[in-house]
Amino acid sequence: MTRWSCLVSGGGGFLGKNIIHMLVQEKELQEVRVLDKVLTAETKETFSKLNTKTKVTMLEGDILDLQCLRRACQGISVVIHVASIIDVKGAIPPQTIIDVNLKGTCKMLEACLQANVPVFIYTSTIEVAGPNSYKEIIQDAREDQHHESTWSAPYPYSKKLAEKAVLKANGSMLRNGGTLYTCALRPSYIYGEGSPFLSSVFNMALKNNGMLLSTAKFSLANPVYVGNVAWAHILASRALRDPNKAPNVQGQFYYISDDSPHQSYDDLNYNMSKEWGFRLDSSLSIPLSLLYWLAFLMEMLSFLLRPVYNYQPPFNRFLLTISQSVFTVSYKKAQRDLGYEPLFSWEEAKQKTAQWVGSLVQQHRGTLKSKTQ
């Protein structure tokens, strides 16, 4: 493999940062470009202090600005497109999600064709496959089973169409006559230190005397540690640059999970935080079927009020379904084609995440102490 360079869109985010940290350890990598709409001072400092010979270039730009993307892609060998809006609660305007997740991906593909980038790796999600109903039980889903989301909710809909566009672009001709090769990775629910979702869960619990809200006790998922998802991206970049492996990977999508035990989201939150005194709310819960109808009524109310008032329901049918379903996937295809094996064991992942949760606890205690002084 010859010297190469890589652009990571969304490089300042939770997963993007982990990919960058692994990328800079890769042999022959001359430069990694970190592209994000806003890079915080803390993120810039972290990247500037990386112990690597690889050049790290930080770029701020809009994923919908084709000229910006084209400049960012000049001289690049591999694009890892992570940038995305994740919204399962309906908090962000639907058009904004469609613009970033779908139009932004199509513009990035176009920039790659114009700038002669031969490899494009897309970070998709298992939400493009389902679950479609909380009554449906799917375990160890495989790629050849062709599961597909039927939701019109903007997040799964936009990610599904974006993934289709990426895979369809495989084999497209570059401006210089070369060929663009693509693949997509579908991680299951990603956890780990720095997760903004977990951060909000634990900070809310800290305000509630360490009581974790029970919102997903009926689910069965196979959560995946962020370090293992990042590792899968590294392996995909190797495979698509390897003439021997590339033909099997081009135009393919892969489920990415690891050996974290299949468990409910409630149990995962508890496992990450119990050593710090967090506990699960054991109060009686409303039957799932009743919650589903309540969600439907609130969605209808939101729709009817929209011309005069922006009412955002506390939960919706899509959120209920993904958080209360039995839906797990198998990583065997990634194992076969990419040589993927989880880099971090469940015990390592749990320990790293729990240590980070401890830092949130200390931070909370420090805040309380300063308020009382």
Question: DSSP letters of 148-167?
Answer: -----SHHHHHHHHHHHHHH
What does the pLDDT look like over 30-83, one tens digit per residue?
999 999 999 999 999 999 999 899 999 999 999 999 999 999 999 999 999 999
Q: Which of 182-186, 195-199, 365-369 has the lowest mean pLDDT?
A: 365-369
331 carries an active-site annotation? no
The tens digit of pLDDT for each residue in 327-362 reads 999 999 999 999 999 999 999 999 999 999 999 999
pLDDT digits (tens, 9 = 90+) for 248-274: 999 999 999 999 999 999 999 999 999
SS3 53: coil
Residue 284 has a pLDDT of: 64
Nearest to 20 by CA among 62, 54, 63, 61: 54
Of 9, 169, 140, the C-alpha closest to 78 is: 9
Domains and CATH numbers, the chain: 4-192+223-260+329-346 (3.40.50.720)
Give me the pLDDT at residue 217, please. Answer: 78
Euclidean distance between CA atoms 258 and 267, whole angstroms: 17
In this prediction, residue 368 carries a pLDDT of 76
Question: What's the predicted TM-score (pTM) here?
Answer: 0.95
User: Coil, strand, or helix at residue 262?
Assistant: coil
Q: DSSP letters of 215-247?
A: --TT-BB--EEHHHHHHHHHHHHHHHH-TTTHH
> Choosing from 122, 134, 155, 191, which is the catalytic residue?
155
Scanning the chain, the segments in alpha helix (DSSP H) are 14-23, 41-48, 66-73, 94-98, 104-115, 154-168, 196-207, 226-241, 246-249, 265-273, 288-305, 317-324, 332-338, 346-372
| 136-191 pLDDT tens trace | 999 999 999 999 999 999 999 999 999 999 999 999 999 999 999 999 999 999 99
Q: If 0-12 CB within 10 Å is exposed, 13-18 middle and 19+ buried, where does residue 72 land? A: buried
pLDDT band at 212 (very low <50, low <70, confident <90, very high): very high
The string of DSSP codes covering 14-33 is HHHHHHHHHHTTSTTEEEEE
Task: Give CA angle at 270 (265, 276), nearest 5°.
Answer: 150
